[in-house]
Amino acid sequence: MKQAKRISMALVFALVFATFALLNVSAIPPTYNFIMPKLVIPVELGKVNPAEAWADANWFVLDANNEVLKEFGRWQGGEDNRMYGPDELSVTYRLKWDEKYLYIREERFDKEYYFTYDHAREPWIGDGTLFFIAYDDGDPKWDKSYQPFWANRDVNGETKVAIRYWRDGQYSMFDDEEAIGNWKYAGTKEGDVYITELAVPWSDLKAYTPSLPAIAEGLKLRFTPVVPNVSSEDLFAEDWNQMNMHDRFGRDDADTEENSNPGELPANWAGLILGPATYVPPEPETEAPAPVTETPTAPEAAPAAPATPPAAPVTGDGMMALFAVLLAVGAFALARRFGKVR
């Protein structure tokens, strides 16, 4: 009996151990995870869609008031290190996914937008964006990162994109057709808001990260947007600054194994989890039918009484016939009377 009990306990421990062995355990426990829901509303690729097309996405605002930035990220700046408030710089991100694409919408409110290059290979030299992504296999390192760059407006007013990834001991940056030809992207400007939409194919991420498994709900990535900002055409002026949403800079739990700058290492980024679809389309609005007001119908008129045929007019022929009848009746009466007397 005791031996059977020992075997049962050993079996339980073995199962528990095997279960944990199958799980991806990050070198650094996640301290912030963003759930990215699965697409419900289709996105028209290659153009800026109406905001309603992103009602099924989850979103967050990255600015000086962002709590994740305050706790896990940092504000990099020039000598004055002035943090720009939300009334000057604020970026909203909306994210969703399906089996083919990672969808990103950036709405950048920027009172002073400057970009003096005709490419996006170095978006930190101007008002560009770096969006870091990496597969979290439990030990995300340099060679598992994939980094889309973009600038909503270059010197010619065009939206530009590029890609950076780690290969052969260094970062390489490309904006040629082979590197980004499968992306779909577009940008527009509405007042002080610069809207950029991208659809980045998972197949590209897979090509640069061979260990990436099939895209499915529950897959965990690492990510952090990095938003450089300048407020003059002098791109190297003291007012240059940059928001790193999540890099654990200066924290005791930062991983600096490969680089003293933790912002470059995917292990220090936030979690990005592919979640289920959560959006439920509203019921289509239909106009209530107008109340039917029955118009009272007039009562049917009673059938008219048959008209009394008028009396036949008394004509001369009629008078003669009547007089003849009277004579005949009188003659018959006299004949009967005199017959009885005899």
Cα separation of 226 and 93, whole Å? 12
HSE-up of residue 312 (Cα within 13 Å, Cβ side): 6
Domain range annotation of the chain:
24-274
Cα separation of 222 and 210, whole Å? 16
Mean pLDDT of the chain: 80
pLDDT band at 311, cuts 50/70/90? very low
Q: Pairing relation of β-strands 89-97 and 193-201?
A: unpaired
pLDDT at 331 over 90: no
Q: 40-87: per-residue pLDDT in tens?
A: 999 999 999 999 999 999 999 999 999 999 999 999 886 566 788 999
pLDDT at 132 over 90: yes
CATH number of the domain located at residue range(s) 24-274 in this protein? 2.60.40.1190
Cα separation of 115 and 119, whole Å? 10
> What pLDDT is stored for residue 330 in this prediction?
43
Where is pLDDT greater, at 80 or 224? 224
Q: What is the pTM of this model?
A: 0.76
Cα separation of 15 and 254, whole Å? 33
Joined together, the tokens standing for residue 190 give: 């509405």
pLDDT band at 235, cuts 50/70/90? low
